[in-house]
Structure 1
Amino acid sequence: MFRIIQSLNNNAALVKNEKGEQAVVMGLGITFQKKKGDLVVKEKIENIFALKNAEAKENFLTLLKDIPLDFISVTYTVIDHLVATYHYPVQEYLYVTLTDHIYCAYQAVLKNTYQESRLPDISAEYQLEYQMAKEALQLFRVKLLKDLPADEIGKIALHFINAQGETFDHTREEYDISKQIMAKVEQTLHANGIKRTKTNSNFYDRFMIHLSYFLNYLDRPTKAEASISSLEQNIKSHDPKAYQIGSEIFDVIKELVIVRVNESERFYIILHIQRLL
């Protein structure tokens, strides 16, 4: 039994059950002529996305501000399916970063501005994640856009590699440090001639989202970094400016935090800088 907390549109609502657990339910006309506190008609529910904690709720509502609900629904469904099928634990922020990425790729294909990643093949070193990414792309092609390029497989696999692990709770002190780091990162971007504009706002905001969630999971378990290092070197050869700026930002973060920073994060930061440039 679900009661409506907030109507998201005619076909979706933020709800809670009798235990106070929150979720997003979807179904055709599920909130039509309904108000806060009303019960949702069980027979109309087509999809349920459990929101495990306050962070999950905030993630969902943040995405909803500028990404259509169907993209969020499809990506959440794909992640949940792969996590359950392959018993692959992921951190909460994957729902944000992968949804954001798929929507960005979708728009780029439609606008004919899609760019190949030029990343080396990682299928041998990360066989499981590569297989998961292949399945994910098949589902995205069926549910969102059949013309999504095969190049997306490697990019999706990297999202799963980066997000593998369990979720951690973080203190207020860590949150304040994160804000300080974000300010320093923006200073570094500005010093290198990168500022938020109407043209680059999507990429700029996506980078800030990535950094925010990365800083909240500094103590997450890490996988072997050798192959990520080889990807880094590939970008260093092809795009030295992105490598230089990304490395500066990574060094800023290393200086300001007290825990060991996963070296592979340099690579993900460099990828975002590539997009911004």
Structure 2
Amino acid sequence: MKIKKILNQNAVLVDDQGEEKVAIGKGIGFDKKRNDLLLSRDIERLFVLEPEGQMKLQTLLSQIDEKYLFAAEKIIDHAEIVLMEKLNEHLLIILTDHIAFAAQNIKDGIILRNKLLPEIEILYREEFTIAQWSVDYLTKTIGIPYTYDQAGYIAIHIHSARSGEQDNHRSIREVTIVSDIIQLIERELDINLHAEEMALNYSRLVNHLRLLLQRFHNQQYTTLDNEIIELVKLKYPESYHVAKQVRVLLIKNYQLSTTTEELGYLAIHIERLRLASHK
């Protein structure tokens, strides 16, 4: 292999039979220059991505320690084994960057609290379990005390990679919407949905909201008889009022419109919460 560019002391860009790859190995970039030959035995890892990803990886490795790349690779391997599926290749770059950035913040005494953690744990249960393992792994191998707030961020990255997204915009939006709805319901009903005795009801509500957003995205709405809707309005006026407040929030803040059927179904869930809080 021929060296095309030195990224850092332990990482170089090589030409392998006309294909660009990033080669990593202890000291392989030291005292080397363009067009020098690189022996296969000196390479510990070889990364091949599509052109855009390759360029991003080169830029990243020129700025950070490659140990974060190795850690991200290990986490992805673990995730793919647990989930039994391949994840989007862009996750390697995104996760490496996140791990390195978080490490620097921790070193600087900057601890970022993840206010969406409870919702992430419910919405993305499989990904969150993997992310918890990842936090323990990072703390042990890198020697930096990553917090469980980071598990929430890592879970979102993994979830986005499962859905084929190259960024986590949609996942973050979904969690943020659910969190905003939870806060509105807590405020309107004057209850604490995060209390231990409300755990099951809270979980059911979060899952319902996740499915509601999925139905909206897929334009596959739930059906409810008009008679049932009128009965809900009559029997659960307080809960139906809160459901209408949720509809206002979705339209005003997120430009999402809900059907009358979805509104009635949501009111039923809210009524369960209201009754549970008064027991």
Verify the 8 A CA contact 2:80 2:87 in the aligned structure 1: yes
Question: Which of 130, 133, 136 is matched with 2:134 structurally?
Answer: 136
Who is 2:111 aligned against? 114
Cα offset for 1:116?
1.6
Matched, 1:4 2:31: no
Cα deviation code 1:151-208 (max 9, x no counterpart) = 21122101111232347xxxxxxxxxxxxxxxxxxxxxxxxxxxxxxxxxxxxxxxxx
Who is 1:176 aligned against? none
Cα offset for 1:128?
1.7
Question: Which of 159, 162, 165 is matched with 1:164 structurally?
Answer: 162
Q: Please give the residue correspondences for 1:185-196 in structure 2 after superposition, counting only pairs within 5 Å.
A: none
Who is 1:62 aligned against? 59
> Aligned to 1:25, what secondary structure does the other structure show?
strand
The structure with the largest helix share of the pair is 2
Who is 1:259 aligned against? none
> Aligned to 2:120, what secondary structure does the other structure show?
coil
Q: Provide structure 2 residue ranges, at least 5 long, that are not aligned to the other structure.
A: 187-250, 257-279
Cα deviation code 1:98-132 (max 9, x no counterpart) = 22322222122222220321222433442321122
> Aligned to 1:122, what secondary structure does the other structure show?
helix
Cα offset for 1:85?
5.0
What is the count of residue pairs matched by the alignment?
A: 190
Question: 1:122 is matched by which residue type in structure 2?
Answer: I
Verify the 8 A CA contact 1:30 1:41 in the aligned structure 2: no
Matched, 1:103 2:100: yes
Change (3 A) 1:5 1:248: farther
1: CA distance, partners of 2:252 / 2:96? 27
Verify the 8 A CA contact 1:11 1:31 in the aligned structure 2: yes
Q: TM-score, with normalisation over the residues of structure 1?
A: 0.56
Verify the 8 A CA contact 2:119 2:179 in the aligned structure 1: no
Change (3 A) 1:123 1:46: same
Who is 1:72 aligned against? 69
Cα offset for 1:80?
4.1
> Aligned to 1:95, what secondary structure does the other structure show?
helix
Verify the 8 A CA contact 2:12 2:23 in the aligned structure 1: yes
Task: Write out the 4+ residue segments of structure 1 that deviate beyond 6 Å after TM superposition.
Answer: 235-238, 247-251
2: CA distance, partners of 1:147 / 1:57? 30
Change (3 A) 1:85 1:7: farther
Change (3 A) 1:68 1:11: closer
2: CA distance, partners of 1:76 / 1:82? 10
1: CA distance, partners of 2:252 / 2:143? 37
Question: 1:61 is matched by which residue type in structure 2?
Answer: Q
2: CA distance, partners of 1:248 / 1:94? 33
Who is 2:79 aligned against? 82
Cα deviation code 1:56-114 (max 9, x no counterpart) = 11220232354333323432443244235533333344333322322222122222220
Q: Provide structure 1 residue ranges, at least 5 long, that are not aligned to the other structure.
A: 168-212, 239-246, 255-277
2: CA distance, partners of 1:96 / 1:11? 17
2: CA distance, partners of 1:236 / 1:65? 45
Verify the 8 A CA contact 2:106 2:144 in the aligned structure 1: no
Question: 2:137 is matched by which residue type in structure 1?
Answer: L
Change (3 A) 1:32 1:88: same
**Identity rate, percent:** 27
Change (3 A) 1:65 1:8: closer
1: CA distance, partners of 2:41 / 2:2? 14
> Aligned to 1:113, what secondary structure does the other structure show?
coil
Matched, 1:233 2:181: yes
